[in-house]
A and B are shown apart, each in its own frame.
Chain A
Amino acid sequence: MPTKTHVQTRINGENIEFLCEPRQSLLECLRDVLQLTGSKEGCNDGNCGACTVLLDDRIVTSCLVLGVEVEGKEISTVEGLAQGNSLHPLQQAFLENAALQCGICTPGFLVAAKALLDREPDPSEERIRFWLANNLCRCTGYDKIIRAVMDAAGKMQETKA
């Protein structure tokens, strides 16, 4: 039987060590081993994006990444978005725009959208739609989500100016 592997990594800025089996995806490690249950399991094959996290600053679907392979890497999850009690502007904009209903897709959208705004502070609507193509929502019909991202981008620009 496969033995567990010791993995050292950084998650949301903290050094983290955990043990996992080779067959555990990064998503399973986050949820089942580390109790970081913000990232969600949807399709489990890379289509729905509910498990989106940043791996070395690039978005990946964590259901497709083997947990043992994040050794030495930097991971950011939805749990790292808010600073203490203050929500990230994207989280605030999702609330204000009612950009969620059941909420399962929301963490993935937030992480993917933050990765976009970190790179491109003022993306066009089209750009946002292409960027978020790997995130499926079965409730909202997307318009409110796109509006929330644009709204957050605007507010973040104002804060900077």
Chain B
Amino acid sequence: MRLPPFQLHRPETLQEAVSLLAQHGEEARPIAGGTAMVPMMRFGFLRPEHVVSLKGIPGLDEISESDDGLRIGALTPLYRVAGSAVVRAQWPLLARAVGSVATPAIRNSGTLGGNLSYAEAASDPAPALLALEASVLLTGPEGDRTVPITGFFQGFYEADIRPGEVLVEVSIPRIPAGARWSYLRFAARSREDKPLVNVAVVATSEGVRIGLGGVSPTAIRARRAEAVLQGPGLTPQAIDEAADAAAEECDPLSDLMGTAEYRQDMVRVWLRRALTGLQ
């Protein structure tokens, strides 16, 4: 099946990309690695008349560390995030999650910004970035806008990206010394599948932050489960209660990989495993 015809724009600056996207509105879509956009177009879920490739814009694929934390350009391919020495040493949760996306070939093409903009509920990076309290920087016709990742995912394949906006950078604050973490994913059939459920946890002296994927229309923070752990900490009883709370607060869909009820059960199981196996 061939792609429907479209006009491809290959801007060399971000401003040019933004004005093309703004000018063509709903008729335009940005493309980065193509691992999501190409199938969406090929199978008719999207039919943009204008496709704006972001790959020719320099400077959007850099990883930099500062006192405040980590910044990752949106066009950075997933393999480079997962393999970055800085990410692996300082934000190992993120390296693990990003390195879990699909397969080597997909991680070579796919980008971090593309993964987040796609707003797939069963994203590997999304729950990790939720637990890490990351934020994203968007550039659009009205200027720059920073959105905490906790507010970025708005619905089923829907992110807070306004017309003409492009996700340009992901910022991740430093993890306090002594923090512990876990990233677990459960794929029901085989390893390279999207996770049926995935769980990212960051536990600091101030509390536990939990990101869940695959079990709601978007990846979510499990706030009620976090609240359960706030007083007692990671006692066996509190962990059981937090796992029950997480299963209650998620809102899964049924699909070929599993029913909603099964997903809720798996949230309970995998969150308990994550909380008992923090690194």
A-to-B contact residues, CB < 8 Å:
1-2, 5, 21-25, 28, 44-46, 49, 52, 55, 58-61, 63-66, 68-69, 112, 130-131, 133-134
1/0 per residue, CB under 8 A from A, across B13-43: the answer is 0000000000000000001011100110011
Residues of A close to B6: CB separation below 8 A: 2, 22-23
Q: Is B159 an interface residue (CB 8 A)?
A: no
Q: A22-B5, A61-B105, A64-B35 are in contact. List 11 more A-B contacts (CB 8 A).
A: A22-B51, A23-B6, A46-B35, A58-B79, A60-B105, A64-B33, A66-B31, A68-B8, A69-B55, A112-B104, A133-B191
Task: Specify the main secondary structure of chain B where it touches its partner.
Answer: loop
B106 within 8 A of A: yes
Q: Which listed residue (B2, B7, B109, B192) contacts A65, Cβ 8 A?
A: B109
Contact A46 B39 (CB under 8 A): yes
Residues of B within 8 A of A45 (CB): 38-39, 42-43
Count of A-B contacts judged by CB separation below 8 Å: 83
Please tell me the size bucket of the interface on B: 20 to 34
Q: A23-B2, A46-B39, A64-B109 are in contact. Are A134 and B8 (CB under 8 A)?
A: no
Which B176-191 residues have C-beta < 8 A from chain A? 190-191
* B192 near A133: Cβ-Cβ < 8 Å: yes
Within B61-100, the residues touching A (CB, 8 Å) are: 79
Asked whether B8 lies within 8 Å of A2 as measured between CB atoms, the reply is yes
Minimal Cβ-Cβ distance residue in A for B191: A133
The reply on B230 being an interface residue by CB < 8 A is no
A66 touches B8 (CB 8 A): yes
Contact A64 B39 (CB under 8 A): yes
A50: shortest Cβ distance to chain B, in Å?
Answer: 12
Closest to B77 in A: A58
* Complex interface: chain B residues within 8 A of A44 (CB): 1, 39, 42
